[in-house]
Chains A and B, each alone.
Chain A
Amino acid sequence: MSRLEDRVGEACREAAETVRPEAVRGLVLEPARQIMQVQGAARWRRGGMLGPMAAAASVVAIAIGALVVVPRLGSMPHHPGKTSHHPGKPRHRVVQVSPALAVLPKYTVLNTDGSAIQVVATATGKVVGTLRPPPKQAFATMAGTADDRTFFVSTDLSPQTSCQTYFYKFSLSPGGQPSALTPLPLAHLVGLPTALAATADGSRIAFSEDQCATGAARKISNGHVIGGIALMDVAIGKITKEWSYTLGEDYTTDLSMSADGSMLGYSNYFNAQYPVGRMLATSSPTGADQSYARIVVSRPTNTAIGASGHLLYAITGTKSQMLAAYDAFGRRVRVLDRWPAAATLGPLFADPAGGYALLPIKTGKTRSRVVTMNQTGINTCFVVTVHKRQMCKIYIEPLTRFLSVNLTTGAVTMVPITVRMFDLHSVSWGMVAW
């Protein structure tokens, strides 16, 4: 037997032994079992068990009860698990409680290019509401709260003639319609918004802001402060803490905050060498972020802190990509999923309520096509010369899909929404779904 065969056997045996004999439930023969299951399925269908959850978390629960009709068989079939129909024989109806009971966020809120925020019904992919930015502004970053209805956004100027940040708040109606934007009490700052996070109750927001260079161009060192992360009390419009970051760290685009606002999670660079995922207690005094933040993971591409503030979720890896949870001591405590290196994974957004993270993923290759210059419907293209004739080369990005990651069980589900985006890591792009 080869080494691989041994490994297969060992792996199977170890997995099998996780089934403890005393933990296997006893056999319940009909009719009690059938009645129990039928009642269970009916209860799920009515949504009675999901009612409180739906009310609290504003999510839609979809229940599927698969009906399997098992006929009474006259003799032992060769493949007994397969069903067949024998006319004239009494039939037993066995209702299997489907494992496919589902909880999806009702709405996914997308800011794909800064020109609009779209509210998409998650189950159907239909756009149910659109919110435009104020004139001459573009949406930059977005964060949601645990009530699933309140959102904060930051905008910058469009065109970006100078570096300005504006903060707004909006809410969703039960039908998914966004309210008008309401400026926060502290509505305007100088600098470019690069990331935004909110506490579960929406009382505080944290944001990252990159300062623009002023004056004549000059060389600056890696230790030069280029921006910072700040904590804002929304009600009084006051910045309560600030932690600066340097050129060597670069700005962060994936700031996230624990539900109670006690911890921040983000990634930036370590001494201009490689990215690191950091956790920062918001009780830390104002100062340089490097002085107070703890590095918990090296070379992440995206991070998001969990609602408890104890775990930082990070996507790492080059040969294959892995979504894993790390504790504050940098220990990897859980691997949630893996993807091939070819997949492009976007920013990770963790639900402030701690249930889910949403992750955009692009798996196909970019295709290109050469079309005539006057072909309708094409706004921008690369001009190429083909047979002495100017043609237009357009690039077609693969569809971006969204994964919903259950942060408790690690179950990963494809959300039925697709968009076509060029850059998953664009700072002007944000997405929240709860």
Chain B
Amino acid sequence: MTRRVPQAAARSQHQSPADAVGDLYRQHAVALVRLALLLVGDQASAEDVVQEAFLGLYKNWSGLNDYSRLLGYLRVAVVNGSRGVLRARKRAWLMPTRHEPPVWSAEAAAMATEDRRTVLAAMARLPGRQREVLVLRYYAELADNEIASVLGVSRGTVASTASRALDALGRQVKEEL
């Protein structure tokens, strides 16, 4: 089987795995940490998720067969890693967790405007899939087919999930204000 090696990914293929992953990290870590932050709420957990994603990539480097999909792979890993963090927090309901308050909480004092904080807090109350769709669509600005690829669902599911999410969000925000 012939491996597809696009121009943009050619360099990655010829570097050592550590160098290639390091390069990718320098290019994409901030964006991915920001994406994870919107899903898990705090930067420390978001960084953990991204580190795990890159570590997974590094471990599997020798088995890669499509270097053009590295960023997509990382996005998927980040979304799945974020789900894992949220699941772990649910399991740990018995104990207060050591993670920082979510960035959308007022005590984090990171966000300036109440309206945006309210919107994000309402998003945090949405089901995980809906929140992921909104973040990927309106923050990462991915097309529906790209979101479908990241989440492993059909394009129609993305559209319907986004619609339901916006409905629910609209209701919550209206109640909040």
Residues of A within 8 A of B (CB): 2, 4-5, 7-19, 21, 23-30, 33, 62, 64, 66, 68, 70, 72-76, 78-82, 92, 94, 96-104, 123, 319-320, 324, 334-338, 404, 406, 409-411, 413-414, 416
Contacts and interface: CB of A to CB of B under 8 A. Distances in A.
Given A12-B120, A336-B107, A78 B166 contact: no
A101 B69 CA distance: 36
A411 B63 contact: no
Contacts of B110: 15, 18
Contacts of B121: 338
Interface residues of B, number: 84
Contacts, number: 215
B9 interface: no
A9 B55 contact: no
B109 to A, nearest CB: 8
Given A2-B166, A19-B30, A92-B59, 14 more contacts: A8-B134, A19-B43, A24-B47, A27-B29, A28-B51, A73-B59, A80-B77, A98-B88, A98-B92, A99-B45, A100-B91, A336-B107, A404-B96, A416-B94
Contact of A70 (B56, B115, B166): B56
Contacts of B169: 4, 8
Nearest to B114: A335
Contacts of B73: 76, 80
Given A70-B59, A102-B97, A16 B38 contact: yes
Contact of B175 (A4, A320, A334, A336): A320
Contact of A27 (B54, B115, B138): B54
B38 A15 contact: yes
A27 B51 contact: yes
B135 A334 contact: no
Interface of B: 18, 21-22, 25, 29-30, 33-35, 37-38, 43-48, 51-60, 63-66, 69, 73, 76-81, 83-85, 88-89, 91-101, 103-113, 115-117, 119-121, 123, 134-135, 138-139, 152, 166, 169-170, 173, 175-176
Contacts of A15: 37-38, 103-104, 110-111, 116, 120
B99 A99 contact: yes
Contacts of A79: 76, 80, 152
14 contacts: A12-B139, A15-B37, A16-B37, A24-B33, A76-B64, A80-B56, A80-B76, A80-B80, A99-B88, A99-B89, A101-B95, A335-B106, A409-B100, A409-B101
Contacts of B100: 409
B116 A29 contact: no
Contacts of A25: 47, 51
B77 to A, nearest CB: 4
Nearest to A406: B96
Nearest to A73: B60
B29 A100 contact: no
B95 A100 contact: yes
A197 B46 CA distance: 41
